[in-house]
Copies of this chain bind each other. A is one copy, B any other.
Amino acid sequence: MLLYVDTQFASPYAMSAFVALHEKSLAFEMRTLDLAAGENRGGDYARRSLSQRVPTLVDGDFSLSESSAITEYLDEAYPGAALYPTAPRQRARARQVQAWLRSDLMAIRQERSTEVMFYRPTPAPLSAAATAAAEKLFAAAEVLLAHGGENLFDAWSIADVDLALMLNRLVLNGDAVPAALARYAAHQWTRPSVQRWLALSRPPLEQT
C-alpha cells in the first residue's frame, strides 16, 4: 500500500491514517507532496484524491482519501488490531468524535496549527473565538472521559489519536488545559505508532 502525505508530516489527518496503518501492522510506503508548491493540485493526484488533499491511500487499484474513510476501510478490509470499538454505541461515538474534530473548532485549528506540535510553539495568545472553542473542547472531552480511563472507550481506538491531537495543539503550546485532559493527551502521545509519526525527519519550514 501507498500513503500520500504532506512533505512536512504536519497534516493531522495524514498522521491519523499513518497511525492506523501501523496499528494494523500493514506494510506501506509513503510518498510526500509539497502542498505549498501545489503538488497536490496536479492532474494525477487531483484525480486520485478527488479532493486534492492529503492523505490518500492507494491499495492496489483503489485510491481513497479522507482520513476517517481510510481508517474505517483499513479496519473493515484488514485483520489485526481493531481501530474502532465493536460495541455499536461506542463505535457510533468514535465516529462522532472523528467527524466533529474534522468540521468544528476552526479557531483552534487556525491559531494552533500542527506546526506548534511538530515544529515550534507560538507566543500568540488565543483569540476570544479560540478560547471559546477550547472551552467547548474541554467540556466535551470531560464528558467523554468522565469514566477516568486512559482511552475514550474500553480499549484504544483511532478516535483517541484524533482527540489527543486536538488537545495537544494547546498542551504542547503551553496553553492552559485542565490537568486530567492534559494527562490523557500526554499518555496517548506515548503510543508507539504515534511516536513513529513524531520521529519522522521533517524539512525546515519554508520562510514566510
Contact = CB atoms under 8 A, between A and B. Distances in A.
Interface of A: 46-47, 50-53, 62, 64-70, 72-73, 76-77, 88-89, 91-93, 95-96, 99-100, 102-104, 136, 139-140, 143-144
B66 A89 contact: no
Given A62-B89, A73-B91, A99-B99, 17 more contacts: A46-B139, A47-B143, A50-B96, A50-B139, A50-B140, A50-B144, A51-B100, A51-B140, A52-B136, A62-B92, A64-B89, A64-B92, A65-B96, A69-B99, A72-B92, A72-B95, A73-B88
13 contacts: A50-B96, A50-B143, A51-B136, A51-B140, A62-B92, A64-B93, A65-B100, A66-B99, A69-B96, A72-B92, A73-B91, A76-B92, A99-B102
A68 B144 contact: no
